[in-house]
Amino acid sequence: MEIEIKGIRKHFRKKVPLRDVSLGATDGTCIGILGRNGSGKSTLLSILAGVQRCDAGSFCLDGRDLFADRRALADTVGYVPQGTPLLEELTAWDNLRFWYDRDRLRDELQGGVLAMLGIPEFLRVPVSRMSGGMKKRLSIGCAVAGGPRILLLDEPTAALDLIAKERIAEYLRHFKAQGGILLLTTHDEQELSLCDTLFILKDGVLVPFTYDGDVHRLAAML
Q: Are 136 and 167 in contact (CB under 8 A)?
A: no
- The whole-angstrom separation of Cα 141 and Cα 136 is 9
Q: Are 38 and 12 in contact (CB under 8 A)?
A: no
CATH of domain 2-221: 3.40.50.300
- The whole-angstrom separation of Cα 79 and Cα 48 is 9
pLDDT tens across the length of the chain (222 residues)? 999 999 999 999 888 999 999 999 999 999 999 999 889 999 999 999 999 999 999 999 999 999 999 999 999 999 999 988 999 999 999 999 999 999 999 999 999 999 999 999 999 999 999 999 999 999 999 999 999 999 999 999 988 988 999 999 999 999 999 999 999 999 888 888 899 999 999 999 999 998 877 777 777 777
Q: What is the phi/psi pair of residue 2, to 5°?
A: -145, 135
Q: What is the pLDDT of residue 190?
A: 80
CA 94 to chain centroid, in Å, comes to 23
Contacts of 208 (CB under 8 A, 6+ apart): 197, 198, 199
Q: Are 9 and 58 in contact (CB under 8 A)?
A: no
* Domain ranges (residues) in the chain: 2-221
CA 92 to chain centroid, in Å, comes to 20
DSSP assignment of 81-97: -SS--S-TTSBHHHHHT
Q: What's the full length of the chain, in residues? A: 222
Question: pTM to 2 decimals?
Answer: 0.95
Q: How many CA atoms lie within 13 A of 65 on its CB side?
A: 8
Q: Across the chain, how many H-helices and E-strands are there?
A: 9, 10
SS3 content of the chain, % helix, strand, coil (to 5): 35, 30, 35
Interior angle at CA 219, CA 214 and CA 222, nearest 5:
130
CA 116 to chain centroid, in Å, comes to 17
Q: What is the pLDDT of residue 60?
A: 97
- The whole-angstrom separation of Cα 165 and Cα 167 is 6
Q: What is the pLDDT of residue 137?
A: 96
